[in-house]
Chain A
Amino acid sequence: MDYNQVKLLQEIMEVGFALIETNLYLDTHPTDERALMLHNTHSRKYNDLYNRYSSKYGPLTYTGMSRCPWEYIQGPWPWEIEYEKCHWD
Chain B
Amino acid sequence: MDNKMCPNDEYDIDSRHYKLAHAYIPYQNMCKIYDLKEALCKGTLFPELYMPYKKYDRRKKY
Q: Which residues of A contact B (CB under 8 A)?
A: 13-15, 17-18, 21-22, 25, 28-29, 32, 34-35, 38, 86-89
Contact = CB atoms under 8 A, between A and B. Distances in A.
Contacts of B46: 21, 25
Given A29-B30, A38-B33, 6 more contacts: A14-B36, A14-B37, A21-B44, A21-B46, A32-B30, A86-B40
Given A22-B45, A89-B52, A17 B30 contact: no
Contacts of B33: 38
Q: How large is the interface on B (under 10, 10 to 19, 20 to 34, 35 or more residues)?
A: 10 to 19
Contact of A21 (B41, B45, B52): B45
Contact of B42 (A13, A22, A35, A88): A88
Contacts of B28: 25, 28-29
Chain A: interface secondary structure? helix
Contacts of A29: 28, 30
A53 B43 CA distance: 24
Contacts of A21: 39, 44-46
Contacts of B42: 86, 88
Contacts of A88: 38, 41-42
A17 B52 contact: no
A35 B46 CA distance: 12
B62 to A, nearest CB: 15
A13 B46 CA distance: 17
Nearest to B35: A14
